[in-house]
Structure formats: structure tokens, C-alpha cells
A and B are shown apart, each in its own frame.
Chain A
Amino acid sequence: MGSASSVLTTHEIQVKIERRSRVIRTFKEELIRRLNLPFTPEDLHEDVSLLGSGLGLDSLDALEIVLCIEGCFQIKIPDQNVSVLRSINTVVDFVLLEQDRKGGGA
């Protein structure tokens, strides 16, 4: 979690929202398509748990989510890194961080 000591300007907020929205939309649409979920992207809250409670996906679905992330964003999830798959938001955080690390985050 980053520092909350300062707040963002309206412009900074808009830039962050636009970037995050793109990743969220892409991931949700692909997740719904691959797993044939009976929801629209708007139905899926970004904090909904992917495995266990929430969407109730199983270990086979988890593999599909990993492939979904790799396919959509060309990013590999390290083996055993289950913390990334806790919610849509944690997946998106990971994707944004990796894009920043690779220098393609703008």
C-alpha cells in the first residue's frame, strides 16, 4: 500500500482512473468470456473474491485466470503467487505494477 500523506489533483486522478479502467475492462471481459460467467462487467465488483467465496472459482478456473492475465497483458504470474488472484483489484494492481516495471505503464 502506498503513502497516503498527500492527495492527488483532479488531473492526476483522471489519469489514474483512465489507465486502471482500461485494465479492469479488459480483464473482466476476458474473464467472463473464458469462464462463461453469467454476469456483465458492471456486475463484477473489483473487490469480489475470485477463488473460494465470491465467484467461487476452483483450481482449474485459477489456471484459466492465470492464462487470461498472460494472454491479455503478456505478464506472467509467478508460481505459488496466490495473493495476486484474491480479487479483480489485486490482479489489476499486479498488472499495473508489472507494466510500470517494464516501462509501459503510461
Chain B
Amino acid sequence: MRRSPFQAQLAAGGAAFRERYGIEVVSHFADRPTEYAAVRDAVGLTDFSFVRTFRLPEEKGIDFLDGLLAGNVAKIRYGRLLHTFLADEHGHLLGDCYVANNDQEFVFLCESILPDGPLDALLQAAGAAEAGLTDLTADHGLLSLDGFKAWEVAKTLFGADVLGLPYLSIETYPFAGGSVRLFRAGKTSEFGYLLLMPRALAPALFDALQTEVGKRGGRLCGVDAHDDLRLEGRFFNIHSEGRRVQDPLVLGLQWMIDFDKESFHGAEALRQRRAAGLKRKVVGVAVEPGIEALEIGARICHGDRPVGEVVASCRSFVLDRRIGLAVFPVELAFSGLSFRLATPAGPAVQTLSMPPIMPKSLGVKLDEM
């Protein structure tokens, strides 16, 4: 099982570990509401070293990544990130990916539902060696800094320059005699940064971040709270609805695809399904406060007819109720409707517009600070 370079510090912080696709991840440190609140109100520090990280030389990297991923890598401007996905030959999701165009190199982050071995095999078969793909995963750490006050921590460590970084961008900063690649990204709908650093810098950077996070009332967080934050912000989660539904078109991820591109993994299958027309679609759902029955796999009924299935679910602490995503036939896939859960006499389920919350960070303009 692959372990994080921060394993000792995470364990010292009280991490509860679990395995996911042969990789050790931190489920949580504290209870879910506490970690959730840290991100919404302050800042959370989460180990994301489970994400596979790679670099490629710019010249060879374009063709390799363009032939692999659904988005158009050739169109990424210098200093910017592309958010896209990796699919198999059937057009089913395998990975949620960022690609950064960063000073003579591409940095490729892949949050995959494949264990390391099969993902390596897929990349090799696609020509990774010829493209000069270097796996950074084993000798680098990846941390996610998220929250209303995440920008304050990033500014303290790397300077006021970080405030000018647009969403989906990359910059490299010096730290303790080395360098850290900083991605302005995040999937919680609050301010977010991913920090990729060589293993030699990992302990010192972790400690520095933890200190600054603590000063602002933040804390260490696990991936469970991140899953809730993603769903509440309606960010795609490969480990949740991605793994269950598999089809990016049903999940509404067409924006990640360049349909005009000549080819990419799964392109033919996706083009055929697009041409045939969408039959099912994912929609946000919610139940009344106090109802806890919005479980993954639960059926949603109209009268005595099952019409939907829950594919993701969490407690929204802002809305004080369970929310989720459900797949419906396209003719019923609309916000503002109401059905019943599981049986014709079950609790009411309302379809809702996503994202259902207004994050604090959306009201802050960093470039004016």
C-alpha cells in the first residue's frame, strides 16, 4: 500500500487512515462538522498525496496529454491549468485531472479510481516513456489548503503575489532552499491552493502550513469532509458520483471535453453517446431537515414508479439537511420538482439547483486587497 510522505505528521495529528484503491488516505482527524466548519469559516489543511503527480517536457508533453485526456491541452496558456478527465476506451471515467502549463513543463495531476499499477500500465501503453513522463508521486508531497482564509496562509508563506493568481493557475515559489509549485485551484468553493513540493521540503512546509492554519482557527482535515464540501459546492467527485455513474455525459462534464479534438481516450464512445442523445442526467436533490434517509443507491419515486437513483449524498451543514445528486431520465431532470424517496409513501425529495449554497469566499475580491 502506498503511504503519504506526511504519514508521521498525519499520525501525530490524530489521523484516522483508510485504504482507497491501494493508497492510504486520511478519512478524518476530528468529527465531520468540525472539519467542515474549519474550511467554510477559516482554513483546512488536507493531505492530497494520494493524487498521482507527473511532469512532462513541454515539447513532447502536448501530443501525449492531448491524445490521453478529454480537454484540449494545446490550448492551455502559460501559467494556467486545464481541468479535465481521463476515460477508458468506453468513455467511462478513470481520473479527475489537472494539467498545468508551467515554464517548459507540463505538470499533470491525476486523481484516479485506478490503483497505481493499472494507471501506470495505461500511461505506458499510451506512450509515457516516449513523451518523457516523469512520475513525481513517490518523491513529492501534495497538500491542499482550502478555506475562507486560505489566501491569508498562502500570502504569509509565499508573499502578496499569490493574491493576484487567477483561479486555475500555477506559479512556482521558493521555500527553504527549494521550490514549491503552487496551484490556485480547489474544489470546496472556498479559496483553494494545491502545493506540490519535493519530499525533502515536505516536513518543513507541512509544519509551516500547520502553524499558520492554526493561527487562523483552522485545522487538519481528512478526505471525508472534503467529499462533503465538494458535493455542497457541486464540484465533480471521481470517488463518489464519478465511480458510481461512470459516464461523464450523464454527470454533466461536457465542459471538460473538446469534442472538436481529433482523438483522446474514450472519444469515439463519447461521441456516439452524444450523437444518440442523452437519456439520463444527474440533478441535485434534498430532503427535509431531520430526514437522514437520502442514502446512496436509494430509489426516488413518482407515484409508484421509480424515476431516479441517489448517487451521492452528504449532510449540508449550511442548509441543515441532507443533500445529494440523483440520476433521472432527462425528461424529469429539472430543478424545482418534488418526488418521494424509496416508496410512494416515503419522505419527500426535492430537486434543487446546484450549487445550493453561497460560499463566503465568493464575496471576497483578492485582487483588490
Which residues of A are interface residues toward B (Cβ below 8 A)?
Answer: 1-8, 10, 13, 16-17, 20-21, 38-39, 42-49, 52-56, 82-83, 86-87, 89-90, 92-93, 96
Chain B, residues 254-295, CB within 8 Å of chain A (1/0): the string is: 110011100000000000001001100111101110000000
Kindly state the separation between the CA atoms of A87 and B338 in the bound complex, as whole angstroms.
21
Given contacts A17-B331, A42-B277, A92-B353, 5 further A-B contacts (CB under 8 A): A2-B350, A16-B337, A20-B335, A49-B234, A87-B354
Binary A-proximity of B183-203 (CB < 8 A = 1, otherwise 0): 000010000000000000000
Q: Kindly state whether residue B319 has any CB partner on chain A within 8 Å.
A: yes
Query: Looking at the complex, which of B11-19, B147-155, B355-363 is the stretch in contact with chain A?
Result: B355-363
Q: How far is the CA of A38 from the CA of B257 in the complex (A)?
A: 10
B281, B334, B337, B363 interface centre (most CB from chain A within 10 Å):
B334
Tell whether, in the assembled complex, residue B254 and residue A1 are in contact, meaning their CB atoms are under 8 Å apart.
no
Q: Is B332 part of the contact surface with A, judged by Cβ < 8 Å?
A: yes
Bound form: Cα–Cα A44–B253 in Å: 8
Q: Does B115 contact A (CB under 8 A)?
A: no
Question: What distance in Å separates the Cβ of A100 from its nearest Cβ neighbour in chain B?
Answer: 12
A16 touches B348 (CB 8 A): no
A89 to B355, CA, bound (A): 9
Contacts of A55 on B, CB cut-off 8 Å?
255
Choice from A39, A49, A89 contacting B254 with Cβ under 8 Å: A39
Residue of B nearest to A88 (CB): B353
Q: Which of B324-369 contact A (CB under 8 A)?
A: 331-332, 334-340, 348-350, 352-356, 358, 362-363
Q: List 20 A-B contacts (CB under 8 A).
A: A1-B286, A5-B288, A6-B338, A8-B337, A10-B302, A13-B302, A16-B334, A17-B332, A38-B259, A39-B254, A46-B335, A46-B353, A47-B283, A47-B284, A47-B353, A52-B167, A53-B168, A53-B187, A87-B355, A93-B353
